[in-house]
Amino acid sequence: MVAEPYPMVIRLEKIWHREAFRIAAFFNYDAELIAKFKAIGATYSKTHNCWYVDYSKKHYKLIKEQFKNHTLVTSSSTLSEPKQASVENQRQDLPITPKQRARPEISSSKAISSVHKSHRPEIDPRLKLKVLDDVGKYWVLKLNYISTYVKALKKVKGVFWNSSHKVYMVYRHPKVKQKVEAIFGVALFNDSYYNSKEFKRPLKVELFSYKADERYLVVKFTDDFRLVDNLRRMAYSKYSKPLNAYLLPATPKNLEALKLFLSELNCNISINVPASYFKASKQINHKSHSLGTTKTQLLDTVPKKARAFVDELIDMLMAMNYSVSTLKSYTGAFINFLRHHAYEDPSLIERKQVIKYLSQLSELGLKSSSGHMIVNALKFYYKHVLEWDNTQQWTIPRPKKEKTLPKVLTVEECRRIFDAVKQPKHKLILLLAYGAGLRVSEVCQLRWRDIDFGAFKITVLSGKGKKDRQVMLPHSILEFMHTYRNMYKTDTYVFEGQVKGQPYSTSSCGAIMRKAVSDANIGKKVGIHALRHSFATHLLESGTDIRFIQKFLGHSSIKTTTIYTHVSQRSVKHIESPLDKMTSLKSKSDSTNSSK
């Protein structure tokens, strides 16, 4: 007697998949069951490792009838029979439209009375959306990254991303509220719109001298977002964690600007320094501000017992006139090295400990370029700070470099990227990066006085390696640049950032490029530096002498420039593969035989 097969257990769950709710079926592999699910129109999901159908009463009944001889296991918390008794129930249980996203729970410190819990539409559960407490003039949203929602939020004027707290700040205004809630299809916020009169507590700012550097003024203030917003936007201001205060250049111009900013807030200013402390000669230039800010930020990341080691390294780098980027890279690598060794005195660390450290980083997938940075930082410290001679200094092994090729875009791909950018400022940034072969830092530091419109030349001052060079100014963007200047009216830098008089940030340029590549549907993962690589490659393909390309790029060695010969298609496209040659000879031979 043959025993009947034991009925298969099928677990049914309600899942969110491909922008809608589905009934998911989980079971062990069985060819007969798979055939039955295919017969009712089910689709397999590799993401959830299950077969699924639309979440509807029709499909639920169909599954129960088709698999009545099998054990169906459901969970009331995850799946219940879809209801179709009313329109309201259909909205809750059937597949929903983008404006009716599922909202199982939204945690908020303030109840939202406008939406009754029993009739609240659901929001996409992938978001795990939370409405946090209000902060000043903003509502606060916390959610997981889902591209559809994030792109929609970014288009709303009055919404911005707070990178420090990983939340979205939503301006408390009726129109902003309406637009944001339309994205999620539910009421999220209360009606406490921003009103400047609601802030009744007195604001106070105190000014003190800064003994560590008398060029600066210490600004202590009531902890209020309005004051912080004004202070951080003042030229060359920087925040000091130990003092819990802002530092401003102690110039008469800054004092007047500070009074003007605070006058609108009805703020009391207490000046605890003599009038002679404010001098025009204390004006800080961009280089001084960058170095000072970088030094402060780096020293704030290490404990007191290790501060002397880091301070010595920073002083030596600055004394030898190294750039801000090198200061960040070397010191950051050195701090990580000290942190790994519990901030032990570096002179007591042995060679085998250093090798062990590099080995562990390599095991974690460290790239050779990062390994070289660490070796350079350590060698600099031991040679220039500790002043070890050749008998004392031991050699540190260097990671073997990967021989990678630069990422290059075609001319057509570059054109598509430029066409995808509509904002004039953003478009000009990309056009200059490609048209003049500039590095992103050189684009941001570009000043109007560096451009010779008559000779169609751009002078790059203190580029990489502190080298000056001249590059071409493309004729095709001359009129575009004049139009841009009339629109934005910047004085010093061509591209200014949030603070007037200060250059645009390199990270913002990178974001512009990423968005342009996405909008242009370029199937390559490239950054803004790819435009510089493309500039060199396209010049080489058009027949430009490689020596001129070396000069335009600012390379010290011709060997660096010759890398573009490996990606240039000028010569490669004329070379025929032996396989293609063999195939063509065979086809000729076959045609000859057939003609005979």
The residue ranges of every structural domain in the chain are 9-93, 98-197, 204-284, 288-385, 411-571
Residue 112 scores a pLDDT above 80? no
- Edge-to-edge strands, sheet with 268-271: 238-240, 245-249, 216-221, 204-209, 268-271
Q: Which of 84-93, 366-375, 381-390 has the lowest mean pLDDT?
A: 84-93
Q: How many CA atoms lie within 13 A of 226 on its CB side?
A: 22
Residue 555 annotated to the active site: yes
pLDDT confidence of 119, banded at 50, 70, 90?
very low
Residue 532 annotated to the active site: yes
Catalytic, out of 246, 330, 381, 564: 564
113 or 342, higher pLDDT = 342
What pLDDT is attached to residue 590?
67
Question: Taking all residues of the chain, what is their mean pLDDT, rounded to a whole number?
Answer: 81
* Degrees to nearest 5, angle at CA 467 with 462 and 472: 85
Q: What is the pLDDT of residues 202-253, one digit of tens each?
A: 778 899 999 888 889 999 987 776 777 778 778 788 888 788 889 889 999 8
Residue 464 annotated to the active site: yes
Q: What is the pLDDT of residues 53-63, one digit of tens each?
A: 988 888 888 88
Catalytic, out of 101, 177, 295, 439: 439
> What CATH architecture is 204-284?
3-Layer(aba) Sandwich (3.40)
What pLDDT is attached to residue 570?
64
> What CATH architecture is 288-385?
Orthogonal Bundle (1.10)
102 or 489, higher pLDDT = 489
Q: What is the pLDDT of residues 502-513, one digit of tens each?
A: 889 898 999 999
- 204-284 matches 288-385 in fold: no
Of 141, 142, 99, 103, the C-alpha closest to 120 is 103
What pLDDT is attached to residue 391?
46
Distance between CA atoms of residues 243 and 261, nearest Å: 22
What pLDDT is attached to residue 390?
58
User: For the residues 171-177, what does the mean pLDDT come to?
Assistant: 90
Residue 439 annotated to the active site: yes
Residue 71 scores a pLDDT above 60? yes
Q: If you average pLDDT over each of 164-178, 198-212, 256-270, which comes out highest? A: 164-178
Class of the CATH-defined domain 411-571: mainly alpha
Residue 91 scores a pLDDT above 50? no
Residue 87 scores a pLDDT above 80? no
**3-class SS of residue 546:** helix
What pLDDT is attached to residue 397?
82
**Over pLDDT 90: what percentage of the chain?**
20
Distance between CA atoms of residues 448 and 429, nearest Å: 14
Residue 163 scores a pLDDT above 80? no
Q: What is the pTM of this model?
A: 0.56
Q: What is the pLDDT of residues 533-566, one digit of tens each?
A: 999 889 888 888 888 888 888 888 888 888 877 7
Strands (DSSP E) contained in 340-397 are none
User: For the residues 381-398, what does the mean pLDDT come to?
Assistant: 76
Catalytic, out of 173, 457, 464, 514: 464
